[in-house]
Structure 1
Amino acid sequence: MKMLHLSVILLTLSGVLAHSDWGVNYPNNPICAVRGFSVSIPCSYYYPTSKPNIQVTQKLWCSMNSNTDKCQNPPYVYNSASITTSDFEYAGDDKSDCTLLIHNVQFSYSGEYRFRFITDVSGGMWTGEPGATLQVADLKVSLIRLSGIGTLKQGDSLNLTCDVNCTQSSSQFVWSKNNERLNTSGPVLHFPAVTVRDSGSYTCTWKTNRASGSKAISLLVEGGWGVNYTTPICAVRGFSVSIPCSYSYPQHNYQVTQKLWCSMNSNTDKCQNPPYVYNSASITTSDFEYAGDDKSNCTLLIHNVQFSYSGTYRFRFITNVSGGMWTGEPGQILQVSDLKVSLIRLSGNGTLKQGDSLNLTCDVNCTQSSSQFVWSKNNERLNTSGPVLHFPAVTVRDSGNYTCTWKTNRASGSKMISLLVEGDNPENPDHWSVWMIVVVTGGLIIIILAIAAVIYHRRSVHIEQQKEDDSDIYANAQQKEDDSDIYANAQQKEDDSDIYANV
């Protein structure tokens, strides 16, 4: 019974894995491609596998636009038997994959494509019918005005739309500006109120799992005269700060000929006359550096900031047209402060000792909501963030140089404070050297005592052995003496016997 079940299972699996007929599979739906780009036409084929030695000898693709003979005779867009270079590339194999790649797609490539394969057995050939359908369209990117007429101006509303006029449900649209990808997805890019900053080259990339294409459109927004500043900026004395700034003018064919920055601490003439902290017409070296351009960016960098640099700054630019100049008012406010790092005792007094509690605090006395505080010890960053570094119970190991670094997106600064906690530090080399001397000395004494004990033991054993040897020698000597006496007595008796005999 078990053998019967096994036979049924094997027959079932054999039916799944083996083919007994011929065929070609294409996608059920038409494939959409964008003119000028590439497309992949997926395809698979099969043939009887009851004969394991069957080999595919020739693979053919034909377009039904030019081939009316069911792909049985030329012309072919691809023929594995001939080496030709064209827009049609075979990306399959000799087993089951018959995928076709078409490059630089043209409108004339639209239509039905069929795959035919020939094997090494008599009559072993097949053409897949009805075939795969390819649709070719242009990718269109359009600007649709929602408000405003004529030249695009600041405040106008518009949409950029991306469209491919063929059936494809799984399309994906990706937008980018000046080759930088945007977060917006979908066929429509909406601008409720454009600004000069929206000017640029916009690209829509259309994608499916088989094809892709992209097209660009330029957006040119004309603005009036203006300079844009930000909220008050905080800077730390002795460090650098960036003052972001942008400017605009009516026509893009204007040329900016001069750029000026002035401090209202010393300039009361609306920046129209000197003194200037920066003047593009003169080459001077100072703490004020222009980091903008001649188009729209007027960012100012200030190095080695001092308290005297606090105040309002204005940007002025002059163009090549008569009367084409502008000063941005009211200006940009800069606040300068010291970075203060303080030690606040929470317990203990006098010299810091182990167990004392304290806080290290970092403070910048000016308005800046987006501040970030970073702490480090002996130039190694700590995991703690925030303006307060808390020590619930200090130890000698907490001694060191602590640095607070204050950061914003426009400025930064740092300051250091030293922490010295009294007590024995087990990590102190001197501490370890004393203990090392004690340990080594103790070890040497133990070794010497052990050696002395061994020597003493050996000598004691030697003396005992010597005594035993001496006893043995004495006993032997006594034995010899006794033997001598016995011998002498015997000899005497013998002599007496001789004398008695003679008598």
Structure 2
Amino acid sequence: MLLLAGALGQRVKYPDRFCGVKGSTVTLPCSFTPLKSVVDNGREVLIEVVRVIWCKNHEFCHLTTPSVYDSESQNINTRYRYLGDKKGDCTLQITDLQNEDDATFRFRVEANDPRASFTDPAGVRVTVAAALGQCVNYPDSPVWAVKGSTITLPCSFTPLKSVNDNGREVLIEVVRVAWCQSPNMCRTGTPSVYDSESNNNDPRYRYLGDKKGDCTLQISDLQEEDNATFLFRVEANDYRASFTDISGVSVRLLGVLGQSVNYPDPVCAVKGSTITLPCSFTPLKSVNDNGREVLIEVVRVAWCQSPHMCRTGTPSVYDSESQNIYPHYRYLGDKKGDCTLQISDLQEEDGATFRFRVETNDPRATFTGQPGVRVTVVDGAQMKIRSSRDDGEFKRGESVTLNCSAAICTIHQLEVTWFRDGSALSESGPALHLGYLTAKDSGNYTCGLKRNNHTLSVPYSLHVEDEEEGTKAFDTLLAVRLLLFTLLTVLFVIVTSIIIKR
């Protein structure tokens, strides 16, 4: 069972990977935890779920994304039945399971406040099995590997033990196993990378399994043609027990040995802000051409969004050889080893995986770095003030730094507006430094994104003790001490007089 938290603690509890027979009905038990409330300028706003959605093979189920169920849509596919509600149950039932249901399904919650809307990206993987329920357990996709390296794809399968033939039980014997690349189905006579009944197997593909339940495949000296989806097939002495599991496992190449792109960790940012993606790459210095060393020169660099690979002629957000430059994206790198990209005024369409590509004077040194860097854009996130001091009480002459940040993710190069008692201050950076505090610095401080009024933070109360308060406090303390001294003196004199008279 996989359990992931959303941006503010929202959760979806998906079932484990599910294997169902084509034509059957499957139920995906699911539960979710929505937010109960959010704070808006110090006021609690109760959350109401207004829409729930299921989609497949999409990361967000957002906006115009095709969905299999949408509570607010009239175009309902009757094969998908929502058994849940808008309170915490997100169970989905799929009838007459088809090949197109072999996918990852994800659930989305939309609320009356955008801060409480979210899609849990984990999802549940549904595999559509052959007619009699055989399944293949492939490794998680994709499998990333470097060109020229060796990978092992662990795999297991469940063959049928017997079938019924007019009341007579026929024991099943597996007579052939094969691996092939999609869209082939590994049938006899079609191209395959491994065939147990063939003598013409490519030695780069080594079958480590058997015909009983292990279908592990090893691929050595990975090449460009291995950048594909691999499928496994079982053939038996009865055609009803023969099948190819079409879900497959995808292999993705990272480039040739020695080439690499160092991406930053996933970045979360608020809509309208600016982020910088620090990045470096290592190109090849030379390649060997029939015993002659050919020096490598980088002739083009590009950034693009997944699923593109940034090749020439495909959409890109930056291309060193293109005149169509988007000012929204600024390349801070070069063609030697720095591939840093800056994105300003972040928008929803920037919520994607970004990849970097290097093209050179020799195709063997040209590559797109995988897997890329994931950027998440959050809209309507309330900002939060963090102080360098735990309390808000200060004395004259002290200093404090207030930091404005999003409560749900780390923000880069943020442009904010600072307020004191509702009046805007001149500072625009995420850090507000107040040095040599005086009484006039006292007040309620708030901050928010310049382009989004809904992000205003909860007030931070700061109080600076002024000189008069300090003097009054000192005078009061002195008066109390003098009074106590006088009383003690009088008491001492009285006691002394009584003793002398005796």
Q: TM-score, normalised by structure 2?
A: 0.29
* More contact order relative to length (CA 8 Å, sep ≥ 6): 2
The structure having more radius of gyration, on CA atoms, is 1
User: Hey, which of these two has a bigger chunk of strand by percent?
Assistant: 2
User: Hey, which of these two has a bigger chunk of helix by percent?
Assistant: 1
Q: TM-score, normalised by structure 1?
A: 0.28
